Amino acid sequence: MMKVIEDLVVRMAKENPTWGYRRLQGALANLGHEVAANTVKRILKSHGLEPARNRKMTWAQFLQSHWTSLGAADFFTTEVWTVRGLVTFYALFAMRLKTRRIRIVGASPRPDAGFMKQAALEMTSFDDSVLRGCSYVIIDRDSKCTEEFAGTLHNHGVKILRIPHRSPDCSPHAERFVRSIKSECLDRMIFFGEKSFRRTLAEYERHFLRERNHQGIGNRLVELDRRQRRTRGLVRRRERLGGLLNYYHRRAA
């Protein structure tokens, strides 16, 4: 029995870093285990767990506790042939982590302060803005994410969490989106002109939201139209970008 209690104390302490000895004692009592607070203290000490005031929440615990109100934002780059030669465009996107809903906010060869302020407004200001209602957005320490950008987000209730340099594991969902758009689309195309690049971004965004199944949300579509789930009728292919992106659906009878 003591081993069961010990395992519960350690588990609860790790899953609830703000719980002190008394709180843990009460949680055990809820489960029918009457244990002294000093016993809880001794168990924590034997497992190297600090008192609640010194116990830090792990990154995984933070993500889990704020999952419904977390977003992420990042840049990806693409080379585009223009009248000035080969130009690097920086595209900024934002994602709502729980639903995988994304929005490619904009792209520019020079994402200056004005671009970033407008991007922050696009992310948060409208009823359908991707980060509207979020409490936090995870970004890296890119210098393009200025204090004005952070301030605009903060004014709309969204706080920035800056992850360390070269730490993709801290924002895996954003990293996965970048890998997807590059491997499925951008790396397989050559862009002649800014207009073709922007059209491609818009087409991929529609495909990602409405036509691409995502394993992280149960292999479902992000934006599911119930009319798409027909079980009868001819199977048709919807092509985007000349068949580079495909979606199969049934035509209404």
| Residues 121 and 90 grouped into a single domain | yes
| Residues 33 and 109 grouped into a single domain | no
How many structural domains does the chain have? 3
What is the pTM (predicted TM-score) of this model? 0.78
Q: Tell me, what's the pLDDT at 228?
A: 65
| Residues 195 and 77 grouped into a single domain | yes
| Contacting residues for 126 by C-beta, under 8 A, at least 6 apart | 132
The pLDDT tens digits for 47-85 are 777 665 555 667 777 787 789 999 999 999 999 999 999
- Per-residue pLDDT tens, the chain, 253 aa: give them: 788 888 888 888 877 777 888 888 898 889 989 988 888 888 888 877 766 555 566 777 778 778 999 999 999 999 999 999 999 999 999 999 999 999 999 999 999 999 999 999 999 999 999 999 999 999 998 889 988 999 999 999 999 999 887 777 788 999 999 999 999 999 999 999 999 999 999 999 999 999 999 998 999 999 987 666 777 788 899 999 999 999 998 876 5
d(CA 122, CA 131): 9
| Residues 73 and 181 grouped into a single domain | yes
| Residues 102 and 69 grouped into a single domain | yes
Q: Tell me, what's the pLDDT at 161?
A: 92
Domain that holds residue 17: 2-56
Q: Tell me, what's the pLDDT at 51?
A: 66
CATH of the domain at 145: 3.30.420.10
| Residues 128 and 83 grouped into a single domain | yes
